[in-house]
Structure 1
Amino acid sequence: MVQPTRNTSPRNFANKVLGALSLQRSWFKKLTKAIWILLMSFTVAVPLYFYVVSINLFGLFGEMPSLRAIENPENDLSSEVISADGVSLGRYFRFNRSQVTYEQLSPVLVKTLVESEDHRFHNHSGIDFWAYPRVIFGAITFNLQGGGSTLTQQLAKNLYTLDLDGPLAKAGKLPQRLIQKSKELIIAIQLERNYTKNEILTMYLNTVEFSSNAYGIKVASETYFNKPPSKLNQQEAAVLVGMCQNPDYFNPHYHADRSLRKRNEVLYKLYTRGHIAKVRYDSLKALPLELKYSVQNQNKGMATYFRSVLYPELSTWCREHGYDLRDAGLKIYTTIDSRLQHDAEEAVANHMAGLQQQFNREWRQRGLNPWVDPRTGQEIKGYLDTKIKRTDAYRNLVKHYGADSDSVGILLRAKKPMTVFTYHGERDTLFSSMDSLAYYNRFLQTGLMSMDPRTGAIKAWVGGISHKYFKYDHVRQGTRQPGSTFKPFVYGTAIEAGFSPCQEFADISPTIRLADGTTWTPPNSSGSHGSGDLLTMRRAMALSLNSITAQVMQKVTPQNVVSFAQRLGITSKLDAVPALCLGTSDVTLYEMVAAYCSFVNLGIYTQPYYITRIEDKNGNVLENFTPKTRQVMDELTAYKMIYMLRGGVEEAGGTSEGLSYDLKDNNEIGGKTGTTDNASDGWYIGITHNLVTGVWVGGDERNIHYPSWSFGSGTRTARPIWDKYMTLVYRDRNDGYDKGLFRRPNQKMDMELDCSQYAAMPEEEETF
């Protein structure tokens, strides 16, 4: 304020005051003008800036996603394998991600996400302008209280890998960051125009990463809590929402303390914003983290071997139809029943653990390793030294040091930390490569396949004892001698030719002249060449007598047996020689089970199938699959073979007589054991009116043998698994597989089969 002085006249003083006021008005006008210019420039320049970024003017900023891409965002999605009863068996993925709908999200989860990450989400259009002053103030005071990105902006970042190759974007970190944020803002606005708020929330949760190879809320919920996102409770939702800002840093499995603090911060936000009461907040924050952590991979979950075998077939289908199996988000619906699969895996694990223990103990008592020469009974010398040369460890060392270097042998025997498989869980130990080879070659393996004979649908598939440590599948990949489980094809050939199940033969081993001029006289499993007693074919098969089976083979000829077996679906090469009657040609468990189904299905062979349909990520059916069938024998022949197989259970001393009473009570069962004469393979195939299940047990390699033939018999190694499996199946009243009677032929039989009353036809009338 201008003050008058003693020497200043009133007029001069007034002029000075007016001049000062004029100067102030001039500066005010200039300031106002400058502000208006800045506002107008901002109003024009900012939209213009975003426009030139969006069109990538002169290529300065890098390309933006197309409008079509924004309206229809693509996302790498894992393809899911689903059981017949709607359970996820596992996924094929590049990034383990699976989508859910908004309706499949827990309301608690949605509320927790919005209140923690973007509480004005429902009131903005992709950009929260009120958040920027907080961010700027936090940057100035070095007290950041969160970023300014909305959930929609974060979704834009998750959905698109932004092109930052323009010259301006490469000018430095600051312009690159500015252009990146600008593009996210542009995409966020586009997303808000094209999607509802609920759709944006769903897309966000489907695209966010949660560490531990979990992408999207569905996989995260399964990985950390073993439940779908619809079942998440308040504290579990808070854990996962807390991970959104920094998944690895707040991983609850690896950093429990950090995760707990972050969870409680999220819960505090809910409390301060009035969504939970103080009492509930206090109780929730006092709870510990309760995880059910399990990282999903191809070695975990149900039906791991089945998924492994299925993968190349699906990959071929995808190539032919223009999809990438690992990121197309396909739904592969299978015939596997998760309940039967669980029963099968449990039965295998329970029996194999005890069998392995006995196996190891008996070989230790003999002072030998299980790789023995069956002709001499002695351990194969240098077995491990030969086998190690087929391993990657050996090849890598030879490549580095040379085949003649002493370093190769030294390093192969050098101890190093290793995690190994045991039936009591994984164990950390110090093993060399040679130790590891010796350890794993002592394990017995198994295969189990269960099939519905009426439809051809495979209901359970167990290819080994641990897919993580033993990759080889023993259902479809492995071929072994089936032993006596092949005998039904010999007797089936005879019955088709007119023989009766009640036809009697003397228990005397025949002497058969072979093509090379030598002779062959097959002994029974006891080592004898027969008792001389007359037995029916049914009883002979029930007791698994080689002597009578060889006689039947002589009458029907090996070539006719081969033809019969091939009609029933055996595709492996069969040698048409007399010894084939004892199962000397290699076959797969997959083939054998399907062939036995032809008996139960009254002569109709149904090619096993395991995929019912494939859908795209939007639920559109891409292809339906139906089984292929053909008539391979008449109904009477098939039913007589059912009667023959029932003999193993019903005949005194039959190889299936020892099955559990509960299984046999009020139920018709048939079955056949098999054991190879070199004591390396044990088999059992059991039939009921609605399930045919085969089991094989043996070493990964043929050189792995049982301590004795009796130890390795199918009765001891494979049949107990079938027994345990079917017991578990019948305990589950919801799977649709109950006890019952075999289906009878439509045509009238000459008489109900009963060998105690059946008059045998003269032998010469039943030969070829």
Structure 2
Amino acid sequence: MAQKNNTTVKDIKYYQKKFWKLFFYGLGVMALFFTLASWGFFGSMPSFEDLENPESNLATEVISSDGVTIGKFYNENRTPIKYEDLPPHLVKALVATEDERFYDHSGIDAKRTLGAVLKLGSDGGASTLTQQLAKLLFHGEGSTFKLFRVIQKVKEWIIAVKLERQYTKNEIIAMYLNKADFVNTAVGIRSAAKVYFGKEPRDLTVDEAAMFVGMLKNPSLYNPLRRLEKVRLRRNTVLGQMLRNGILDKATKDKLAAQPIVLHFHPESHKEGTATYFREFLREYMKNWAKENKKPDGSDWDIYSDGLKIYTTIDSKIQEHAEEAVQAHMKNLQKQFFDEQKDNRNAPFLKITPEETKKIMDNAMKTSERWRVMKDLDKSEEEIIASFEVKTKMKVFSWKGEIDTLMTPTDSIRYYKHFLQAGLMSMEPKTGHIKAWVGGIDYKYFQYDHVGQGARQVGSTFKPFVYATAIEQLGMSPCDSIIDSPFTIPVGRHHVTESWTPKNSDNKYRGMVTLKKALANSINTVSAKLMDKVGPEAVVSLTKKLGVKADIPTQPSIALGAVEITVEDMVAAYSTFANQGVYIKPQFISRIEDKNGVVLYEPVPETHDVLNKDIAYAVIKLLEGVTEEGSGVRLRTQGGGSGDNRWTGYPYMFTNPIAGKTGTSQNQSDGWFIGMVPNLVTGVWVGCEDRSARFKGITYGQGATAALPIWGYMMKKCYEDKDLLVSKDPFERPDNLSIKVDCWTPRKVEVDSTAVPTEEEEQNPEEFGL
């Protein structure tokens, strides 16, 4: 019996030794396994520097002058947010649902981990928030192979422990919410709050915060745009967790759980949102900037992932009013254009040959996306052309919303040629800051920018440059008189190859008029006479000093605006008059910062003197005449019309000083209005993409009808907006003004349009009653 007991004791000791030997061997293997994993033996591990800077692939923000994010450039739409900017109920909901002992562990929850091991993972994983962050930051989704999953889990534990040592609990929560993917281009809680509810995270309600926490379990499954009922049930599960953890009482939880989810979906895509044309212009600028300005290590900046902050000069409110004005007016003007084209067999083109029409359509076909894609697929030209005659399902733009339709690509080209386009830019004359930029009617469908890209014939908006040259070169004043009568510039004079005899738009002549009245009524013969006196070279020289980059021929006909200039250049040129003769280059960026707030770029304003203060002010007084008695006088009157025609006259009733000029190109292809108050200059252009697509007559095609109402609508909104300080004051009058600008209104005299005054009559008009 004693021998048996001795044997039993020996066996126990043997197995104890075996157990402890295996135990320590196991610990040693585990230690070696963890050590090898931490050294990167089983795959790369983040370095200490990586842990210090885990934020990567951050969206670049485009920020307005009033602090509103108006757009982003991104591969992954993620903008970081600090813990202090998170609402407390969001943080509490997150911890209650995802990691109840978050504040008690050091990266690994031993209790949950042991429970998961005992249940072989059948009851879900045991990942803490820190482990989930580790997965998001450094190695993404898990593998389906068990061994790899074990290795990955070990790496996850190691990274989680390092993160806990490196960061505070609050920083880990902020990093996790900044990195989480909420689908539909929303990465990070700030983007998600903007995309789904159109607000900042701090403004999220409890139930909205609970929805986002619920999505974290499986964003694709709990996608609010696809499975709203599933999302609602998951949200209520989160609310239940908040009740369990004492964050909510039962009455509040039940009340919130009964509420439906009401989304205000605002997709942050490159083709939608605010200032789309400006953002695309800015994107191209930033691409070049990134190449020319290197990082400290010599590499290029990436505008899609380096989390830059671009502070622009755009004012979000003025931009909003400008876009609203374009939408409101163009929608109604387009209806009129469609009505006018009903009887046109070649709509929307007027007075062009079949050959010219075919050329327009062929050019549009060859520059289309369809042509490019099929060319890349090595399709022959014949195959491509044939495809344009096959009816296809497509979505097309309309002012009533997108239309699902069936039409041939050729028909869609002609359909889109019907649409009137618009370009608008606003700028502060004293700073050069661009405050609004609207390049077209809808960037998703019409991506050509009619502010910075599209140079169009400016018509009578060019005339102030001629008048300014005459005031400077000849010492004239707005009150000086000149005869409005038939006038011809003979062959050989000012490089004219054949005689040029301009006519007034109404085929009438008014006799003796002041320069102010002549510009107010846009009298062509007076502009031609002034051009003849100063010469086209002097006018072109001044126009170049005003910042106009277009090639301008030294021909007398430029006096009537036979010149193509962009909206951007025209606004900058007019701003020089409002800025007392000092040209300032348009500026659209205030500064650029990196993700840490370090300033990388601050532009220096580019300015130069063009005219002295007196001359600039004299031109302003000339332009005020346009809105006092000329083509812009409708800004001062009550709008007319009713019903469907109400749009033809908005109730502006402006009483403050406004300087401006309308312009209409030949055949009404282009309508312009440039209007100025002391601290805001806005230019508007309206017309079709093709010059042969236009209104039949001047009633709707002229600048006063096509473009001016957009300016009026926008300014009315700006004046109503109490947050804006758009001026109603008079333009600053120079001290000791040397030019006469306060004129008496001469007696209106109409003369026979065929009568040509003699040289003696023209030199002494008063003596002859002219």
TM value normalised by structure 2: 0.90
What is the aligned partner in structure 2 of residue 533 from structure 1? 511
CA-to-aligned-CA distance 1:679-731 (integer Å, 9 cap, x gap): 21000000111111000001122232222233210011000000101100100
Q: CA deviation at 1:413?
A: 2.1
Contact 2:615 2:739 (8 Å CA) reproduced: no
Given candidates 96, 100, 111, the residue that maps to 2:92 is: 111
**Structure 1, 311-320 or 346-355: larger mean CA deviation:** 311-320
What is the aligned partner in structure 2 of residue 695 from structure 1? 684
What SS is found at the alignment partner of 2:45? Answer: coil
Does residue 126 of structure 1 match 2:107?
Answer: yes
What SS is found at the alignment partner of 1:520? Answer: coil
**Structure 1, 23-32 or 531-540: larger mean CA deviation:** 23-32
Contact 1:372 1:380 (8 Å CA) reproduced: no
Does residue 266 of structure 1 match 2:238?
Answer: yes
Given candidates 504, 513, 516, the residue that maps to 1:524 is: 504
Q: CA deviation at 1:284?
A: 1.6
- The one-letter code sitting in structure 1 at the alignment partner of 2:391 is K
Q: What aligned pairs does 1:411-450 form with structure 2 within 5 A after superposition?
A: 411-450=387-426
What SS is found at the alignment partner of 2:700? Answer: coil
What SS is found at the alignment partner of 2:565? Answer: coil
What SS is found at the alignment partner of 2:436? Answer: strand
Contact 1:121 1:150 (8 Å CA) reproduced: yes
- The one-letter code sitting in structure 2 at the alignment partner of 1:343 is H
Identity %: 42
What is the aligned partner in structure 2 of residue 84 from structure 1? 65
What is the aligned partner in structure 1 of residue 256 from structure 2? 284
- The one-letter code sitting in structure 2 at the alignment partner of 1:118 is D
What is the aligned partner in structure 2 of residue 316 from structure 1? 288
What is the aligned partner in structure 1 of residue 180 from structure 2? 208
Q: What aligned pairs does 1:486-497 form with structure 2 within 5 A after superposition?
A: 486-497=462-473
Aligned counterparts of 1:721 and 1:437: Cα–Cα separation in 2 = 27
Does residue 49 of structure 1 match 2:33?
Answer: yes
What's the C-alpha RMSD, in Å, of the aligned pairs? Answer: 2.4
Q: CA deviation at 1:664?
A: 5.7
Aligned counterparts of 1:381 and 1:622: Cα–Cα separation in 2 = 51
TM value normalised by structure 1: 0.90
CA-to-aligned-CA distance 1:360-381 (integer Å, 9 cap, x gap): 110113444022346x899835
Q: CA deviation at 1:556?
A: 1.0
Q: What aligned pairs does 1:640-655 form with structure 2 within 5 A after superposition?
A: 640-651=618-629, 654-655=630-631
Q: CA deviation at 1:162?
A: 7.5
Contact 1:680 1:706 (8 Å CA) reproduced: yes
The 1:399/1:64 distance shift into structure 2, 3 A limit, reads: closer
Q: CA deviation at 1:739?
A: 1.2
The 1:252/1:704 distance shift into structure 2, 3 A limit, reads: same
Contact 1:372 1:378 (8 Å CA) reproduced: no
Give the structure with higher Rg (CA). Answer: 1
**Structure 1, 451-460 or 517-526: larger mean CA deviation:** 517-526
Give 5+ residue unaligned stretches, structure 2: 295-300, 638-650, 748-760, 765-770
Aligned counterparts of 1:303 and 1:684: Cα–Cα separation in 2 = 21
CA-to-aligned-CA distance 1:123-178 (integer Å, 9 cap, x gap): 111111111233234437x4x2x3111111111111124799xxxx9xx9222212
**Structure 1, 738-747 or 354-363: larger mean CA deviation:** 738-747
What SS is found at the alignment partner of 2:684? Answer: strand
Does residue 466 of structure 1 match 2:442?
Answer: yes
- The one-letter code sitting in structure 2 at the alignment partner of 1:492 is A
Q: CA deviation at 1:469?
A: 0.6
Q: CA deviation at 1:105?
A: 0.5
Does residue 173 of structure 1 match 2:170?
Answer: no
Given candidates 361, 380, 388, the residue that maps to 1:384 is: 361
What is the aligned partner in structure 2 of residue 513 from structure 1? 490
Aligned counterparts of 2:699 and 2:544: Cα–Cα separation in 1 = 30
Given candidates 588, 595, 610, the residue that maps to 1:632 is: 610
Q: What aligned pairs does 1:599-748 form with structure 2 within 5 A after superposition?
A: 599-651=577-629, 654-661=630-637, 665-748=654-737
- The one-letter code sitting in structure 2 at the alignment partner of 1:328 is D
What is the aligned partner in structure 1 of residue 312 from structure 2? 334
The 1:476/1:764 distance shift into structure 2, 3 A limit, reads: farther
Contact 1:674 1:714 (8 Å CA) reproduced: yes
Q: What aligned pairs does 1:60-75 form with structure 2 within 5 A after superposition?
A: 60-75=41-56
- The one-letter code sitting in structure 2 at the alignment partner of 1:198 is N
The 1:288/1:30 distance shift into structure 2, 3 A limit, reads: farther
Q: CA deviation at 1:44?
A: 3.1
Q: CA deviation at 1:562?
A: 0.4
**Structure 1, 661-670 or 269-278: larger mean CA deviation:** 661-670
Given candidates 522, 529, 534, the residue that maps to 1:556 is: 534
Q: CA deviation at 1:240?
A: 0.9
Q: CA deviation at 1:24?
A: 4.9
Aligned counterparts of 2:366 and 2:179: Cα–Cα separation in 1 = 46
**Structure 1, 34-43 or 96-105: larger mean CA deviation:** 34-43
Aligned counterparts of 2:193 and 2:348: Cα–Cα separation in 1 = 45
What is the aligned partner in structure 1 of residue 132 from structure 2? 154
Aligned counterparts of 1:402 and 1:409: Cα–Cα separation in 2 = 10
Q: CA deviation at 1:635?
A: 0.5
What SS is found at the alignment partner of 2:20? Answer: helix
**Structure 1, 702-711 or 74-83: larger mean CA deviation:** 702-711
The 1:726/1:763 distance shift into structure 2, 3 A limit, reads: farther
The 1:115/1:38 distance shift into structure 2, 3 A limit, reads: farther
Aligned counterparts of 2:265 and 2:118: Cα–Cα separation in 1 = 40
The 1:399/1:459 distance shift into structure 2, 3 A limit, reads: closer
The 1:295/1:756 distance shift into structure 2, 3 A limit, reads: closer
Give 5+ residue unaligned stretches, structure 1: 1-14
The 1:701/1:738 distance shift into structure 2, 3 A limit, reads: same
Contact 1:682 1:698 (8 Å CA) reproduced: yes
Q: CA deviation at 1:357?
A: 0.5
Q: CA deviation at 1:517?
A: 3.9
Q: CA deviation at 1:68?
A: 1.6
Aligned counterparts of 2:63 and 2:286: Cα–Cα separation in 1 = 14
What is the aligned partner in structure 1 of residue 201 from structure 2? 229
**Structure 1, 603-612 or 743-752: larger mean CA deviation:** 743-752
Contact 2:479 2:740 (8 Å CA) reproduced: no
Contact 1:79 1:328 (8 Å CA) reproduced: yes
CA-to-aligned-CA distance 1:622-679 (integer Å, 9 cap, x gap): 121232111110011000000000001112xx01111144756441101100000122
The 1:532/1:542 distance shift into structure 2, 3 A limit, reads: closer
Given candidates 452, 467, 485, the residue that maps to 1:476 is: 452
Aligned counterparts of 2:449 and 2:359: Cα–Cα separation in 1 = 27
What is the aligned partner in structure 2 of residue 500 from structure 1? 477
CA-to-aligned-CA distance 1:546-579 (integer Å, 9 cap, x gap): 1111111111111111011111111111111010
Aligned counterparts of 1:386 and 1:597: Cα–Cα separation in 2 = 37
CA-to-aligned-CA distance 1:259-278 (integer Å, 9 cap, x gap): 11211111111122222112
